[in-house]
Structure 1
Amino acid sequence: MEEFVVYILYSKKFNKNYTGFTSNLIERFKSHNIMAKKGFTIKFRPWEVIYVEFFNSKSDAMKREKFLKTGIGREFIKKLIQQHT
């Protein structure tokens, strides 16, 4: 059974965060920090993983990612960042 991860990245250098989901967190993290040649995350390297949640279905992970991008979700992320710094 495939497992999905919702993750939050934080760039301390630029005070930016990024929320996404994947089925392979290690490779996705490498992509954000090293391998990617275009996209939002290359501008704000380096990234740290500050939060992860695991899901058994892709649809549940997508729902959680979508929630974290709402106003309530952004407040949750803001509190995580405050605890992390």
Structure 2
Amino acid sequence: MRAPAVYIVASKRNGTLYTGVTSNLARRVWEHREGLFDGFTKRYSCKLLVWYEFYETMPDAIVREKQIKGGPRARKLTLIETMNPTWRDLYEHLH
């Protein structure tokens, strides 16, 4: 599943959220789940993939990531609830 993507991982439903961008969504979410890198997602246990979008190019994905990160939390919650109203972990659907 190598394609530019923007994603949101969460600690739990309505918990701490992290928005990121990657060229390999399955690998990157696995890294979050395993806590391989020190930082925000490891500190706050953001391991559940709750939202994502794929893009044609990495520059397009980066623009979208910045837009989401710069927006209010309410907008992130709307994105998640529209795609994934039960906040299930979408990681299993990537394989």
Same-fold status (TM-score > 0.5):
yes
Pair 1:43–1:13, CA change in 2 (3 A):
farther
How far residue 14 of structure 1 moved from its aligned partner, in angstroms, is 8.4
Q: Which amino acid is the alignment partner of residue 26 of structure 2?
A: I
State whether structure 2 residue 95 is matched by structure 1 residue 56. no
C-alpha distance in 1, partners of 2:68/2:13? 22
Is the CA contact (8 Å cut-off) linking 2:18 and 2:46 kept in structure 1? no
TM-score (norm 1): 0.80
How far residue 35 of structure 1 moved from its aligned partner, in angstroms, is 4.5
1:78 maps to what in 2?
Answer: 77
**RMSD (Å) for aligned C-alpha atoms:** 2.4
Offset from partner CA, 1:3-51 (integer Å, 9 cap, x none): 2010011111881000001111111011111041411111122511111
Q: Which amino acid is the alignment partner of residue 61 of structure 1?
A: A
TM-score (norm 2): 0.73
Q: Which amino acid is the alignment partner of residue 41 of structure 1?
A: T
Pair 1:37–1:67, CA change in 2 (3 A):
closer
Moved over 6 A (4+): none
Q: Which runs of 5+ in 2 are unaligned?
A: 88-95
> What SS class does the counterpart of residue 41 from structure 1 fall into?
helix
Is the CA contact (8 Å cut-off) linking 2:32 and 2:42 kept in structure 1? yes
Is the CA contact (8 Å cut-off) linking 1:50 and 1:84 kept in structure 2? no
Identity of aligned residues (%): 33
